[in-house]
Structure 1
Amino acid sequence: MDSIGSAFNSGISTIQSGQRRVDQAALSIAGAPANTPPSPVQTPPQQQVNASTANDPTTRPDLAESLVELRIGQNQAEAGARVVKTADDLLGTMIDTTA
């Protein structure tokens, strides 16, 4: 019975870890600048400086890397859910067998 409890705990921990990874990736994706063409309207010099740093690849988050992290987090959470489901099924089988 203790091994089923540890399987539940392990599954829940994995789900939570995957959710944290998804949350971090989503924040990174939400903070990524949109690739829009420059406006023909002149902008004040201060905004031009910010726009140039926003397009600098060293200062913006890598969208592809964030999307990969998002998918890894999703897979991690799904794997944890499968562990919890399997432990639940096993516990149900054990209860049916002993009853």
Structure 2
Amino acid sequence: MEISGSAFSSGVSTIQSGQRRVEQAASDIASNAFTAPPQAAQSARPNQVNPSAEVPAESRPDLTESLVALRVGQNEAQAGAKVVKTADEVLGTLIDTTA
């Protein structure tokens, strides 16, 4: 039973780690977006984004790296879920054989 409990804990930990990675990547992607143009610039060019109002490129996370981290986090959470499912099945089998 210790092995199954350990596998379950490991799976849950992996899911949580993947979730944190996804949340961080989503935050990085969101911070990569343009900011709204100031009111004065908006009246000068009504339907255009003011390039000077955007966040400086060197202070933003790399979009490609953020998208890759998002996918890695997704895969990590899915792998953790499979570990939990397998641990549950093993525990069910152990209970069935001992009953």
Quote the residue 1:81 is aligned against.
Answer: 81
CA–CA distance in structure 2, aligned partners of residues 48 and 7 of structure 1: 51
Quote the residue 2:33 is aligned against.
Answer: 33
Quote the residue 2:39 is aligned against.
Answer: none
Query: What secondary structure is seen at the aligned counterpart in 2 of 1:58?
Result: helix
CA–CA distance in structure 1, aligned partners of residues 74 and 63 of structure 2: 16
Structure 1 gaps of 5+ residues are none
Q: Is the 8 A contact 1:22 1:69 kept in 2?
A: yes
| TM value normalised by structure 2 | 0.79
- The verdict on how the C-alpha distance between 1:89 and 1:57 changes in structure 2, with shifts beyond 3 A counting, is same
Quote the residue 1:63 is aligned against.
Answer: 63
User: Share of identical aligned residues, percent?
Assistant: 60
| TM value normalised by structure 1 | 0.79
* Shift in Å, 1:25: 0.4
* Shift in Å, 1:57: 2.9
Q: Letter of the aligned partner of 1:74 in structure 2?
A: Q
Query: What secondary structure is seen at the aligned counterpart in 2 of 1:33?
Result: coil
Higher relative contact order (CA 8 A, sep 6+): 1
Q: Letter of the aligned partner of 2:6 in structure 1?
A: S
CA–CA distance in structure 2, aligned partners of residues 48 and 17 of structure 1: 36
CA–CA distance in structure 1, aligned partners of residues 67 and 6 of structure 2: 31
Which runs of 4 or more aligned residues in structure 1 lie more than 2 Å from their structure 2 counterparts after TM superposition?
A: 39-42, 47-51
CA–CA distance in structure 2, aligned partners of residues 59 and 82 of structure 1: 37
- Number of residue pairs the alignment of both structures matches: 90
Q: Is the 8 A contact 1:21 1:70 kept in 2?
A: yes
